[in-house]
Amino acid sequence: MVEPLLELRGVNKSFGVVHVLHDVDFAVYPGQVTALVGDNGAGKSTLVKIIAGIYGRDSGEYHFDGKAVEVHGPRDVAALGVEVVYQDLALCDNLDIVENMFLGREETTRLGLDEVTMETRARETLASLSVRTVKSVRQSVASLSGGQRQTVAIAKAVLWNSKVVLLDEPTAALGVAQTRQVLDLVRRLADRGLGVVLISHNMGDVLEVADRITALYLGRVAADVPAKDLTHSQIVELITAGRSGDLGIADPATATV
């Protein structure tokens, strides 16, 4: 078995009296797409924000590359090589693709911004991801379709030689063809050896690209199994009831918040 690239062990998190995550174990393997599924309020977003370093943990360990690491904020996480692509994309409409990809990490020379290096690297990254739908890297992001925007956001995340990429609902607002583009891209990321986490409500997408599925139910891990062992209806049961056949939480009735 391959060692996980990123692993959380026994994570608990409360907001005031609300206990959001109960002893959650979560692992991301290199070269695999791990789908994180769960109903609204199951704790997906909280878990992602803990991985991203936005929230701290009440207890539990954060392992990266087999070693326990201390993370105190988004910068520590970014330094490890973990990038998060958020649902609302976090792109600036008034800037072009290159400017967005290097936002906050602009290359400079003594004479100011180094546009030559930035444009070259942005183009290389997009080409290496086989992105074929963008007509020019100097297009403003406002002129891109939803799928292209998602592509740019993902390319921005891999530009920094990141090892783990978390995608929060990347296909939620996309049409059929654009969903296709993004899913292909997700698969290619994993094929490059990155650990990919896909958070999605769309079971079709999950079954299509995921290698492993981690289902959350009311803040607990209901199942963490290879995707090929699950059917569509089993995933739905895990999400809605916390168990399916002999899989899942032993007695979901006790699993209250």
Partner 1 sequence: MTAHTDTASAPAPASSGFDNDNRQAATIGDAARDYVNRLRGGDMGLLPAILGLVALLVIFASLNDRFLTTYNMANLVIQASSIIVLAMGIVFVLLLGEIDLSAGVAGGACATITALMLIDYDWTWWMATLAGVAFGAVIGLAIGSLVSFLGIPSFVVTLAFFLGLQAVPLRLIGSGGSLRFNDPVLRGMSIKNVPVTAGWIAAIVIVVAFAALSLWRYRSLSAKGLVHAPIGLVVIKIAVLAAVVLGLTALLSANRAPNPDLFDISGVPWVAPVVIALLLFWTFVLTKTRFGRHLYAVGGNAEAARRAGINVQRVRIMAFVICTSMAALAGLLSASYTGKVSPGSGGGNVLLYAVAAAVIGGTSLFGGRGRAIDAVIGGLVIATISNGLGLLNQAAYINFVVTGGVLLLAASVDAISRRRRSSAGV
- The reply to whether 108 sits near partner 1 by the rule CB under 8 A is yes
Number of residues that bind partner 1 (CB under 8 A): 43
- The reply to whether 126 sits near partner 1 by the rule CB under 8 A is yes
CB nearer partner 1, residue 155 or residue 230:
155
Q: Which range in 4-12, 101-109, 160-168, 219-227 contacts partner 1 by CB under 8 A?
A: 101-109
Distance CA 209, CA 32 (A): 9
CB nearer partner 1, residue 37 or residue 118:
118
Please report how close the Cβ of residue 172 comes to partner 1 at its closest, in angstroms.
Answer: 18
Q: Select from 140, 146, 160, 172 the one that contacts partner 1 (CB under 8 A).
A: 140
Q: How many CA atoms lie within 13 A of 188 on its CB side?
A: 17
Structure tokens at 143: 């002129």
- The reply to whether 115 sits near partner 1 by the rule CB under 8 A is yes
- The reply to whether 93 sits near partner 1 by the rule CB under 8 A is yes
| Span 45-74, contacts to partner 1 by CB under 8 A | 74
Please report how close the Cβ of residue 105 comes to partner 1 at its closest, in angstroms.
Answer: 7
- The reply to whether 134 sits near partner 1 by the rule CB under 8 A is yes
Q: Select from 18, 68, 79, 116 the one that contacts partner 1 (CB under 8 A).
A: 116
Distance CA 10, CA 233 (A): 28
- The reply to whether 75 sits near partner 1 by the rule CB under 8 A is yes
- Is 24 in contact with 8 (CB distance < 8 Å)? yes
**DSSP sequence for the chain:** -PPPSEEEEEEEEEETTEEEEEEEEEEE-TT-EEEEEE-TTSSHHHHHHHHHTSSPPSEEEEEETTEE----SHHHHHHHTEEEE-TT----TTSBHHHHHTTTS--EETTEE-HHHHHHHHHHHHHHTT----S-TTSBGGGS-HHHHHHHHHHHHHTT--SEEEEESTTTT--HHHHHHHHHHHHHHHHTT-EEEEE-S-HHHHHHH-SEEEEEETTEEEEEEEGGG--HHHHHHHHHHSEETTEE-S-GGG---
CB nearer partner 1, residue 41 or residue 146:
146
CB nearer partner 1, residue 85 or residue 222:
85
CB nearer partner 1, residue 55 or residue 86:
86
- The reply to whether 123 sits near partner 1 by the rule CB under 8 A is yes
- The reply to whether 246 sits near partner 1 by the rule CB under 8 A is no
Q: Could you list the residues that contact partner 1 (CB under 8 A)? A: 74-75, 78, 86, 88-96, 99, 103-106, 108, 111-113, 115-116, 119-120, 123, 126-127, 130-140, 142-144
